[in-house]
Structure 1
């Protein structure tokens, strides 16, 4: 879906999403709030895009600012999924996000026509039914369809890639972060290895990539060649590499104790996600971003434990070790925590000087069960009731924003 949040907001207010200057903002009452979506006209004429801050939006009477309405967007998204169900069965639909889905149209050719025909039918019905516009990428697998969408269809409306297009359309892509699944940190690591285009990645030594990145190196190599064997609904990067949480704080945090409170809350959330998937991890990463008013910057450091864990306090103590070692007393505005190097949680390694480890592991699962039954706020740590805690506020959000 194109500019989905902004288009929904425009339509609900009786405005044309293609010509209206409208921005969806996380919180219109905070100048530093993030722009979540902008209509095409606002992007084109004012250069305002997703990720801009509210204070960067020009003071112009033609520009309309609205707060995010996540419950509305989810409702419209579900109705769009019902529309997809007219063309393919439910098991052939994989909802990737609120505004993006994969559809397997194999076997429907005798009813609706080939993939391009179905794509145009869906776009026309979306426009007629909801007044919304969309772009569709077509490929022989989920990865290729997604790459086609991001790199070509978003400009053309509908585009199709085959394996024959990999060398001429995918391999020239640079910087690497334009490739789905490669973020800036990974791009920098690949750059240091002399890899700056997808073609160079596709033709790099598979053995060396696996040596440096493990199973992810294998996936990077084959994805750069357009190969994706995952089934519809399965994660594109096969297997969960890590569990993480990143949070931009609503205000500057200057005191170590206050920062520690937020770190503990985030460790609870990261380990809960790992426990929900019956996973444990050995590598714990902590990222700290400093306030831009003090020059920005920060650090990102990792520590690998001898024994894998999903126990909240073990992850917390490791994070605090990294924090105390690398923190330079600047004002903190962003925190990220990741638990990686995952394995299945099939047992627990006893430790000579940690007698309560079995009980702590069980306690984590019991707390998760209570929250699942009675809501995420049913059990909170005491730090969440301090002025520094953020879990209670975040518990009221949908998709990171107030439901409205």
Structure 2
């Protein structure tokens, strides 16, 4: 069986590079060569550094810190607001170039892709040479640089692209793991978080090599069975995940909303989440399904996406029960950092009508909630989605949630028409 060949292409300091490339075309100073950052209004407590230049990094400016603090570190710092329309155009442009080289491309984020180059050796006999070709084509045509990592799986390609930057090509093949990957600190292992890092350090496991050479049972005991097994495999360079050109078909119901104005309060977030719960639960009830798991997903201004989920004791299709869990999840996982996207998903579906009754359950209230849902669903089917709205989504969340809720209604109408 032929060995796989995977590329990971990652834009260097994407947001700053994209804004810098535009400014260079306009004859303005290159943001990459001066102390600069992409961030919010320094007069606002919400203004944070989303991306920074290398000269700014030398002053101690860090991603995620308040712009006001960054300016105290570097008074000459040039702070430019993010232009998400520009970011989207640049993302599409670099991905179009990448896709022209590979049979299969998977978008990993706005500024990262995986390319499955397996079986292309007759067209591209030298993988390193074609990686340089892709990198240089993006730089010459679009005005910004990328790193390309090459490996036999997605993990190794991703790890390789994170080596020395910018504008570089790196390989990380299985034979190179002891030299290039194992000496790295454990925090550099893909998907290994701070909490796991601290557990490993306390156990005397400081490098990825230490982890790879440990007993798997010890790692699973330290990090949990499932997480420990996966990270142990990663430490040994093992990753069987495929490069997918399209996301797998969803096995649930979900709604996500990208907002025009940042979500910064629980009031805004909960109003929008209730509207989303209303939409996805209605779709689920229409199909005669119930869910056993609900998840809240949100994306911060630096495009980092986080998700938190919880299982129900019994499957449900009641909007209020779903929303009650969503509120708990939000308070557990979100600390009011500005958001540009938020969403909810219902998974682990069943059509089973059986439900275990609890001695402490208020069955009368639950039946009332189900009747409310049925009435709302019926009115929307007969007269349209906009004819009835839950009161708690109207007045409390302001313009952000109202605009987003209107888009949700349009989305649901479109799904019903199809």
TM range (shorter): 0.5 to 0.7
**2:66 matched residue in structure 1:** 53
Q: After TM superposition, give the deviation of residue 384 of structure 1 in Å.
A: 4.2
**1:391 matched residue in structure 2:** 401
CA distance in 2, matches of 1:232, 1:98: 16
C-alpha change, 1:306 and 1:43, in structure 2 (3 Å) is same
CA distance in 2, matches of 1:244, 1:179: 32
Q: Which moved more, 1:311-320 or 1:123-132?
A: 311-320
1:179 paired residue among 189, 213, 221? 189
Judge conservation of contact 1:261–1:384 (CA < 8 Å) in 2: no
C-alpha change, 1:302 and 1:123, in structure 2 (3 Å) is closer
Judge conservation of contact 1:350–1:357 (CA < 8 Å) in 2: no
Q: After TM superposition, give the deviation of residue 144 of structure 1 in Å.
A: 0.9
What TM-score, normalized to structure 2?
Answer: 0.65
C-alpha change, 1:268 and 1:148, in structure 2 (3 Å) is farther
CA distance in 1, matches of 2:184, 2:314: 40
CA distance in 1, matches of 2:387, 2:194: 37
Judge conservation of contact 2:278–2:319 (CA < 8 Å) in 1: yes
**1:343 matched residue in structure 2:** 348
Q: After TM superposition, give the deviation of residue 234 of structure 1 in Å.
A: 7.9
Judge conservation of contact 2:379–2:387 (CA < 8 Å) in 1: no
Q: Which moved more, 1:185-194 or 1:14-23?
A: 185-194
**1:72 matched residue in structure 2:** 86
Aligned residues: 357
Q: After TM superposition, give the deviation of residue 358 of structure 1 in Å.
A: 7.2
CA distance in 2, matches of 1:321, 1:227: 36
CA distance in 2, matches of 1:311, 1:80: 44
Q: Over aligned residue pairs, what C-alpha RMSD do you find?
A: 5.1
Unaligned runs of 5+ in 1: 254-258, 287-300, 327-331, 398-404
CA distance in 2, matches of 1:279, 1:26: 42
What TM-score, normalized to structure 1?
Answer: 0.67
CA distance in 2, matches of 1:158, 1:136: 5
**1:99 matched residue in structure 2:** 111
Structure exhibiting the larger radius of gyration computed from Cα positions: 2
Secondary structure in 1 matching 2:62:
coil
C-alpha change, 1:364 and 1:94, in structure 2 (3 Å) is farther
**2:229 matched residue in structure 1:** 218
Q: After TM superposition, give the deviation of residue 391 of structure 1 in Å.
A: 3.1
1:129 aligns with 2:134: no
2:52 paired residue among 38, 56, 80? 38
C-alpha change, 1:141 and 1:270, in structure 2 (3 Å) is farther
Judge conservation of contact 1:204–1:221 (CA < 8 Å) in 2: no
2:129 paired residue among 108, 111, 117? 117
CA distance in 2, matches of 1:114, 1:22: 38
Q: After TM superposition, give the deviation of residue 380 of structure 1 in Å.
A: 6.7
**1:7 matched residue in structure 2:** 17
Judge conservation of contact 2:296–2:330 (CA < 8 Å) in 1: no
Q: After TM superposition, give the deviation of residue 154 of structure 1 in Å.
A: 3.1
CA distance in 2, matches of 1:71, 1:6: 14
Alignment deviations for residues 69-91 of structure 1 (CA, whole Å, 9 cap, x no partner): 111111111111221233224xx
**1:233 matched residue in structure 2:** 244
**1:402 matched residue in structure 2:** none
C-alpha change, 1:36 and 1:347, in structure 2 (3 Å) is farther
Secondary structure in 2 matching 1:135:
strand
**1:138 matched residue in structure 2:** 150
**1:18 matched residue in structure 2:** 32
